Amino acid sequence: MTDFVVEPAKGEAIGKMFAYPVRVYYEDTDAGGIVYYANYLKFAERARTEFLRALQVCQQTDLEQKQTGFVVRSCHIEYLRSAVLDDALIVTCKVMEQGVASATLAQEILRGDEVLATLEVKVIYMNVALRRPTRIPADMTEKFRHFC
């Protein structure tokens, strides 16, 4: 046993934006040494998950107790520049629009001031047991408002 605790990476709110750090590992790259295109989606998903965690939304609890959670309905991504092995990236997340059962988020993947990719992601709040959209809880809606 060890006497120390190591916290996992977590992002932080910067104004109306959430920022999450990502490091590019060898496993993230393709044969050409650049980040494989699908991994940008994984980086963005991690940032959205940590965004919810920072808002004190426990996805596991919602899934287990309420059978609700967010699912991606659509995603538009623009690849502008390539990330490479060992790059330190920042993935941002901002709520652009919020509906009764959905939200549209704008995300950027940055290396310093350089924008590598932009994403627009629409998520739907679902009752996963019924596989139908359901109203986003009022407390969660209020937390999102700060990031609109």
What are the residue ranges spanned by the domains of the chain? 13-145
Summarize the confidence of residues 76-96 as an average pLDDT.
97
- pLDDT level of residue 89 (50, 70, 90 thresholds): very high
**Catalytic-role residue among 30, 87, 113, 139:** 30
Q: Which of 17-21, 39-43, 137-141, 143-147 has the lowest mean pLDDT?
A: 143-147
Element holding 10 (H helix, E strand): none
| Topology (CATH) of 13-145 | Thiol Ester Dehydrase; Chain A (3.10.129)
Q: Compute the distance between CA of residue 3 and CA of residue 120 in angstroms, rounded to an integer.
A: 43
Q: Compute the distance between CA of residue 11 and CA of residue 31 in angstroms, rounded to an integer.
A: 30
Q: Compute the distance between CA of residue 61 and CA of residue 43 in angstroms, rounded to an integer.
A: 23
The average confidence (pLDDT) of the chain is 93
Q: Which two tokens stand for residue 6?
A: 């190591």
| Tens digit of each residue's pLDDT (9 = 90 or more) over 93-146 | 999 999 999 999 999 999 999 999 999 999 999 999 999 999 999 999 988 888
| pTM of this structure | 0.91
Active-site annotation holds for 3:
no
Place of tokens 């287990």: 64
